[in-house]
Structure formats: C-alpha cells, structure tokens
C-alpha cells in the first residue's frame, strides 16, 4: 500500500494512475475521530490530490482546499513533490447526509501550487460543482486541462484509493472508441476492489483486453516531525503579555498544527521559559 501506480494504454492516447493509501491514511487521521461521512470525504480527497501531485508536469507542492458553509466547512490536503502527504477536516454541528452539497453547502475549491522556479505560489479558485469528491475534481480537471477525465474514489477507516483516467489529444485518432471503452471498463470497479486489490492485479482485472504499460510505482509518505523550536518562536513573537493572558485563562498554552497532526502543550513554567532563553541566532 501507500503507492501511486501510473500507466498508459499503449495503443490508445489515454493515461491513468491508481493510488492506494493504507498506513499513510491512518497516520493522517490518527486521533481525529472524524464522523464516517467526513472520513470518507477526506480520504477520497487525499487519494485524488496524490494522483494529481504525481502527474504534475512541473513538480511542486500542491494544496487543495474545499471550503463551504455547511457542517463540514473545510477540507485540506497538502502533497509535496516527493508525495509527502498531510491533511485535515473541520466539522461543526451534526453531520447530516454524505454528499459534498449536503456537508459543505455552497463553496469553492482552492488550488495552491508552489514550484521551485515560481516567485510565488500559483492559486486558482473554482466553484464546487458535483455531489461527490470525484465529480468535483472531474469538473476541476476539465476546466484546468481541457481534457475529459474519469475518477473513481473510495475510502474507509483503513484505506483510501482512487483510479484516474484521462483522455489525451490524439485518442480519437488512434482509436475512436478507445476512450469510451476503457472509461466503461473503469466504471465496473467496486470500492472493495479499489481498497483491497494490489495495483497490478486490479489493473489486469479491469483492462485485461487492453495493452497497458506500467511505470515504476512511487511511494507515498506521511513524514512530518514535530517542530518545537518553530512553535516556541511563534509564541515568542506573540509576546509575554499575551502568553500570560492565555495562562491566566487556561492554565497552559496549547498550539494545534492541524495540517501535520501535531499538538504542542506548554505548562506555565515551560511557557515562561521561552522568554528566559535567548532565541537562536542565525549564521
């Protein structure tokens, strides 16, 4: 598990990718206690973000943010060019329904892409179109790449997975029926197959009559160590008066890094000690 398997149909101008997340998905949602519907949305979003990151023409860090005005106002997934993945969801109030419209309400999809050669991250906003994560991202891909795409996503408590197909410019010239045929075959995949079958086995089962070329699979990780010094620097910047006010109200200072899933706790002595030791110097 925790791989992205890219592939191409040799005799068609159609490309694809299959992502399967296991331990990485469990780490992302560790100790979160998301309701089942929220867990499904975030897992599917993790799968499709990983697919898009693995297929970027210019490698970089990509962040997708779904925001709305419903019981789930925010879903965020961030993936680096090395496929280091993290993310979180926010939910408020009772969770009713399972669709994007029911849970997020009207909202938008924000893409942020940070590449090494760009002076600042590229950002793009798209209104939410679709009732599933797959439909939302199919719409996004049609808008951004001007090419038909098909997505099939699944997620549960243990795994998240996604199958992606995209029709490329010369597809109709190579085989006028090719895109319809392979997209139809992909529609037969079940969530159970996506979540449990190894990538080569699943692709062979779905497309055994087509000629597939598999590229080397890439590993997905969730590797974000706690950064206590960065948090101390942030608290130092707030100033001792603000920290004393927080201690007076709560008895401790708690900093939550939702994206990397870390929590930093400082009791009164630890919080005050931040201002006694000099900040690190730069050389």
Q: What is the CATH number of the domain that holds 237?
A: 3.90.1280
Question: Among 219, 238, 253, which residue terminates a domain?
Answer: 219
Residue 112 maps to a domain: yes
Same domain, yes or no: 265 and 212: no
Residue 283 maps to a domain: no
Residue 122 maps to a domain: yes
Same domain, yes or no: 27 and 157: yes
Same domain, yes or no: 53 and 148: yes
Identify the burial level of 125 via C-beta atoms within 10 angstroms of its C-beta, where 0-12 means exposed, 13-18 middle and 19 or more buried: exposed
- The pLDDT, as a whole number, for residue 252 is 95
Q: What is the CATH number of the domain that holds 172?
A: 3.55.30.10
Same domain, yes or no: 265 and 238: yes
Residue 141 maps to a domain: yes
* Strand order from edge to edge, sheet including 74-79: 85-90, 74-79, 61-68, 107-114, 122-127
Same domain, yes or no: 156 and 63: yes
Same domain, yes or no: 215 and 235: no
Same domain, yes or no: 137 and 258: no
Nearest to 54 by CA among 14, 34, 82: 82
18: containing domain: 3-219
Same domain, yes or no: 10 and 68: yes
Q: Are 125 and 109 in contact (CB under 8 A)?
A: yes
Nearest to 266 by CA among 250, 281, 253, 283: 253
Same domain, yes or no: 65 and 163: yes
Q: How far apart are CA 180 and CA 224, in angstroms?
A: 41
**Total tally of structural domains belonging to the chain:** 2
Same domain, yes or no: 17 and 148: yes
Tokens of 272: 């005050």
- The pLDDT, as a whole number, for residue 1 is 84
**Which residue ranges of the chain lie beneath pLDDT 50?**
282-283
Residue 84 maps to a domain: yes
Report the predicted TM-score, pTM, of the whole model to 2 decimal places: 0.90
Helix (H, G, I), strand (E, B) or coil at 206: helix
Helix (H, G, I), strand (E, B) or coil at 35: coil
Same domain, yes or no: 179 and 239: no
Residue 42 maps to a domain: yes
11: left (phi over 0), alpha (psi -120 to 50) or beta: alpha
Helix axes 240-250, 228-238, angle to 10 degrees: 100
Question: Among 219, 236, 259, which residue terminates a domain?
Answer: 219
Residue 151 maps to a domain: yes
Residue 281 maps to a domain: no
- The pLDDT, as a whole number, for residue 66 is 95
Same domain, yes or no: 143 and 256: no
Question: Among 201, 219, 237, which residue terminates a domain?
Answer: 219
- The pLDDT, as a whole number, for residue 163 is 98
């Amino acid at each position: 598990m925790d791989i992205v398997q890219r592939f191409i149909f040799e005799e068609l101008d159609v490309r694809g990718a299959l992502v399967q997340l296991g331990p990485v998905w469990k780490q992302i949602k560790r100790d979160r206690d998301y309701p089942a519907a929220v867990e499904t949305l975030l897992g599917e979003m993790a799968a499709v973000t990983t697919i898009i990151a693995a297929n970027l023409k210019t490698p970089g860090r990509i962040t997708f943010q779904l925001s709305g005005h419903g019981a789930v106002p925010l879903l965020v997934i961030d993936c680096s060019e090395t496929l280091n993945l993290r993310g979180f969801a926010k939910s408020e109030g009772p969770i009713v329904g399972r669709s994007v419209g029911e849970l997020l309400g009207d909202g938008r999809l924000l893409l942020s892409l940070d590449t090494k050669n760009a002076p600042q991250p590229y950002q793009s906003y798209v209104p939410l179109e679709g009732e599933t994560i797959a439909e939302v991202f199919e719409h996004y891909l049609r808008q951004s790449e001007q090419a038909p795409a098909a997505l099939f996503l699944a997620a549960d408590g243990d795994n998240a997975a996604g199958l992606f197909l995209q029709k490329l410019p010369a597809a109709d010239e190579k085989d006028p029926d090719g895109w319809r045929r392979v997209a139809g075959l992909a529609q037969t995949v079940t969530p159970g197959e996506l979540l449990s079958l190894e990538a080569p086995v699943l692709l062979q089962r779905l497309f055994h009559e087509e000629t597939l070329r598999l590229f080397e699979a890439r590993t997905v990780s969730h590797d974000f160590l706690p950064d206590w010094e960065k948090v101390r620097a942030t608290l130092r910047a707030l100033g001792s008066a603000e920290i004393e006010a927080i201690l007076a109200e709560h008895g401790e200072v708690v900093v939550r890094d939702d994206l990397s899933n870390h929590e930093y706790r400082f009791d009164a002595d630890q919080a005050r000690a931040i201002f006694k030791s000099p900040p690190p110097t730069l050389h």
